[in-house]
């Protein structure tokens, strides 16, 4: 456990000054220099370590506090190993390709925007990656929208809304795993609790895309049919391949441990793989480590299906380790305790705590443009506040996603914003008004925070 006694005692002005300098430095390196988050966090760590040594704190003591913080978050590191294996197994067994195949059959030209939103949501949940969904299915919808004469900004808003619904609610998503692990909540308990804000946001978004946006004329579905044909030709589409999803859902509903749930799903998926193909153990090991690959897949389908593996998780795992270290050091040097002490008079109700978490998550997204940091730093900062108020940590993890994960694509200079605007060829400011799901989640979590509706006590 992390020692609650800081190594330094800072006043509010000193703590605020350190935070402003760190945020400015991290924002400059991520936005201006386009550094990966690892380098940015490592630079912040070195700066804090230098500050601590100048104040007379021994290096080994600070390192010990960082290690203690990482120890508390090791659940996330182990979880991501299983997620990498799970994605590979669901790909090679045909579970995800089959889900995509039947999902494409649901597209309706008469309800094009709604179809884009819902199908991107289904694909997003199945693969757990909003950026991959936008770069593959999202691009396909942008092409279809052009053929239909649809508004490109509305189409992009529907794609982003669906992709981030999937990213938020998928057990395969790294941000979902990070939010749950950061505050110490079971993954599936976290997903279940998010439904209180996510389902209403989903329904409201679907209603808006159905009745309150301009209609689209019928057009050609050639691009969709092409994707379906390529999926069919891959040899991975089989009705029985959906069984792993059934097992995943059933075990999740029975509240089986997330790692065990994924392990049983991986075993079943691997068994199904041998029904329609016979990979060697060498090939199987390669897929589990480097992700599923098949040289016979078409280029467009390959972008959808060739992913997963332990290797794909290393980026996220190392970010988690560094960010947890940064949080531990901020606590150890008295920065976060000083800021919390200053906010103590304000953070006296669940509504104010929810507002503070949301404001911090949105602020980090806007200032730094990094959704991982918005979740990790806000989670580490406000866990003691929720403990003091007697609120369950699942309320905190839900707010982290409602104000952290889904807000990142609405920031033009954020990682998600830059990527999505590039692949969809629509600027963030153009699609932002139509990404209804993203800001509806934020609005609902604020309303529930101040009313106390769906908030649970310890």
Using the predicted structure, report yes or no on whether residue 335 has a pLDDT greater than 70.
yes
pTM value?
A: 0.74
- Contacts by 236-239 with C-beta closer than 8 Å and gap 24+? 236/91, 236/92, 236/94, 236/97, 236/98, 236/276, 236/305, 237/94, 237/97, 237/98, 237/101, 238/94, 238/98, 238/275, 238/276, 239/98
pLDDT of residue 147: 63
- Give the pLDDT band of residue 46 (cuts 50, 70, 90): very high
**356 domain residue, yes or no:** yes
Q: Give the pLDDT of residue 132.
A: 78
Residue 90 falls within a domain, yes or no?
Answer: no
* Contacts with 337 (C-beta within 8 Å, 6 or more apart), sequence order: 6, 10, 331
Backbone angles phi and psi of 453, in degrees to 5 = -65, 130
Residues 194-234: pLDDT tens digits? 999 999 999 999 999 999 888 776 555 666 777 788 888 88
Structural domain tally of the chain?
1
User: How far is residue 437's CA from residue 158's CA, in Å, rounded to a whole number?
Assistant: 9
Looking at per-residue confidence, does 131 or 18 come out higher? 18
Q: For residue 272, what are the CA distances in angstroms to 92, 282, 379, 396?
A: 9, 18, 39, 38
**Which pair of tokens denotes residue 324?**
């947890």
> How does pLDDT run across 184-197, given as a tens digit for each residue?
898 889 999 999 99
Query: Is the pLDDT confidence value at 453 over 70?
Result: yes
Residue 258 has pLDDT above 50, yes or no: yes
The verdict on residue 396 lying in a domain is yes
C-alpha distances in Å from residue 178, one per residue of 41, 184, 288: 16, 10, 22
Looking at residue 249, its pLDDT comes to 75
SS (H, E, C) 289-300: HHCCCCCCCCHH
DSSP per-residue codes, 405-440: ITTGGGSTTSHHHHHHHHHHT--HHHHGGG-HHHHH
Check whether 253 has a pLDDT greater than 70: no
> Of all helices (H) and strands (E), which one includes residue 284?
helix 281-290
Residue 104 in any domain: the answer is no
pLDDT grade for 1, boundaries at 50, 70 and 90: very low
Residue 140 has pLDDT above 50, yes or no: yes
- The answer to whether residue 166 sits within a structural domain is no
User: Stretch 171-188: mean pLDDT, rounded?
Assistant: 87
pLDDT, tens digit, 9 for 90 and up, residues 351-377: 999 999 999 899 888 876 778 878 888
**Residue 81 has what pLDDT?**
87
pLDDT of 312 strictly over 50: yes
Average pLDDT, the chain: 86
Assigned domain for 152 exists: no
Please write the tens of the pLDDT for every residue from 381-394.
888 889 989 999 99
Domain carrying residue 393: 12-45+59-73+314-424
């Amino acid at each position: 456990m992390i020692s609650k006694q800081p190594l330094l005692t800072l006043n509010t002005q000193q703590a605020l000054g350190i935070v402003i300098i760190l945020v400015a430095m991290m924002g400059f390196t991520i936005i201006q220099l386009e550094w990966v988050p690892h380098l940015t966090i490592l630079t912040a760590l070195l700066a804090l370590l230098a500050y601590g040594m100048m104040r007379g704190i021994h290096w080994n003591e600070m390192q010990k506090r960082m290690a203690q913080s990482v120890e508390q978050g090791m659940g996330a590191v182990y979880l991501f190993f299983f997620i990498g294996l799970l994605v590979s197994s669901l790909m090679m067994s045909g579970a995800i390709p089959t889900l995509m195949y039947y999902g494409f059959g649901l597209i309706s030209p008469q309800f094009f925007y709604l179809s884009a939103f819902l199908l991107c949501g289904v694909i997003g949940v199945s693969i757990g990656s909003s950026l991959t969904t936008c770069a593959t299915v999202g691009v396909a919808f942008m092409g279809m929208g052009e053929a239909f004469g649809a508004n490109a900004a509305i189409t992009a808003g529907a794609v982003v809304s669906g992709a981030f619904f999937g990213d938020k609610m998928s057990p395969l998503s790294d941000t979902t795993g990070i939010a749950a692990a950061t505050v110490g909540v079971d993954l599936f308990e976290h997903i279940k609790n998010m439904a209180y804000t996510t389902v209403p946001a989903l329904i409201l978004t679907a209603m808006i895309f159905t009745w309150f946006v301009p209609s689209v004329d019928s057009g050609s579905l050639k691009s969709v049919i092409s994707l379906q044909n390529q999926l069919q030709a891959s040899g991975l589409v089989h009705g029985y391949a959906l069984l792993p999803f059934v097992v995943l859902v059933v075990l999740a509903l029975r509240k089986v441990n997330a790692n065990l749930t994924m392990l049983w799903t991986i075993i079943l998926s691997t068994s199904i793989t041998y029904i329609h193909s016979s990979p060697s153990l060498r090939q199987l090991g390669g897929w589990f480590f480097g992700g599923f690959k098949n040289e016979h897949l078409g280029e467009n389908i390959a972008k959808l299906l060739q992913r997963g593996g332990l290797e794909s998780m290393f980026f996220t795992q190392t970010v988690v380790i560094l960010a947890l270290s940064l949080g531990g050091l901020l606590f150890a040097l008295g920065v976060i305790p000083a800021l919390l002490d200053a906010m103590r008079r304000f953070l006296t109700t669940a509504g104010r705590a929810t507002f503070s978490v949301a404001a911090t998550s949105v602020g980090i997204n806007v200032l730094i443009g990094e959704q991982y940091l918005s979740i990790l730093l806000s989670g580490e900062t406000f866990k003691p506040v929720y403990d003091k108020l007697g609120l369950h940590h699942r309320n905190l993890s839900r707010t982290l996603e409602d104000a952290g994960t889904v807000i990142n694509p609405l920031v033009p200079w954020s990682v998600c914003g830059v990527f999505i605007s590039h692949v969809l060829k629509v600027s963030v400011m153009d699609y932002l008004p139509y990404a209804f799901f993203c800001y509806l989640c934020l609005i609902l979590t604020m309303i529930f925070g101040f009313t106390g509706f769906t908030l649970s006590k310890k």
